[in-house]
Each structure stands twice: as structure tokens, then as C-alpha cells.
Amino acid sequence: MTPRPVALADLPALNALNNRHAAAVNALAPSDFAALAGVAFAARMIADAQGTPAAFLIALSHATPPQGPNHAWFLAREPAFAYIDRVVVAEDQQGRGLGRLLYADLAGLARAAGLPMLACEVNLDPPNPGSMAFHEKLGFVPRGEASDPRNGKHVRYLAAPLG
């Protein structure tokens, strides 16, 4: 399975996949999901053999207008970056390395664009220990913490240099 750009026809299925994982990534209305993908630095997905979305990633950059308080946190502190706004792997596809594939794909795109780092946030409350462990294995280090005023989630901001 190889990451590829998200196409317009993919958006409904990806939005449904996103919303099945709302506790981790926040639900979005179809129009909001499409708008986010439309302003993304990278909107990438992996499909299974039948063409069903297996995983996706949406990343913003320093050049993207603020897309919520977590993206804005990095905009206020970093001159250049690729910010992973959301990454979702379908339940039946988890444990197959698709998240790593999407992150490696994004790192390549970011390096090609001259960006020095990947950035993201992970929920501390409610806790998301699987995501935290995943990011630590990929070399992400803490940069700060905050509470999201939209939903009360407490998050840790993480960054990984692209050397």
C-alpha cells in the first residue's frame, strides 16, 4: 500500500472514517472536512486492495491560515513546519504500519519543500497513550502543553526535526 493524494471523490469516505475516530481527532461536518483538506499542505491517504480508505493524514504548514488553536500554537512559535492536523487508521488496518508510511511520506514532502520539522499534538486528557508512544518512537519530543478551548481536551505539543 502506497500513500497517494486525497481526491475529491475520496472525501465522503475519509470524513466518515475521521468521524468514527472523533474522540482522538474531533468530528467534522463534511463541508469542514473538505475545507480542511482543501487548505492542507498535504492531504494523503492509503487505500486497501478494494480501494477502501485504510488510512489518511492531513497536514498543514506555516503558510496555512490558522486552522484552530493547536495549529495556531505552532504558528506563534515556529517559522516553518508541517503540522499533522489529523491521522486516522481504520480499525481493521491498525498494526500494519500505515501510520508510519503516512508519516514517512509526509516527511519526504516536507523535506522537498524545505521544511525543517514535523509538528503535532497528542491528547493527554483524555489520554491517548498509543499515539504518544507512536510519536516518541518516531523521534517527536515535547514542546509544550495547552487546553483546547473548543472541547476542553488537554494536549501536548510535539515536534520532530527533519535532518
C-alpha 130/C-alpha 126 separation (Å) is 12
Tens digit of pLDDT for each residue in 44-95?
A: 999 999 999 999 999 999 999 999 999 999 999 999 999 999 999 999 999 9
Tens digit of pLDDT for each residue in 9-58?
A: 999 999 999 999 988 888 999 999 999 999 999 999 999 999 999 999 99
Confidence tier at 152 by pLDDT (50, 70, 90): confident
Give the pLDDT score at 24: 80
Give the pLDDT score at 22: 87
Cis status of the peptide bond prior to 161, with omega within 30 of 0: no
| Domain residue ranges in the chain | 4-161
Average pLDDT over residues 135-140: 96
* pLDDT at 150 exceeding the cut of 90: no
* pLDDT at 126 exceeding the cut of 90: no
* pLDDT at 1 exceeding the cut of 90: no
CATH architecture, range 4-161: 3-Layer(aba) Sandwich (3.40)
CA 46 to chain CA centroid, Å, is: 14
CB 116 within 8 A of CB 162: yes
Strands 117-125 and 82-89: parallel
Positive/negative CA dihedral, 78, 79, 85, 87: negative
Positive/negative CA dihedral, 143, 124, 55, 64: negative
* pLDDT at 101 exceeding the cut of 90: yes
CB 123 within 8 A of CB 131: yes
Backbone angles phi, psi at 100, to 5 degrees: -60, -40
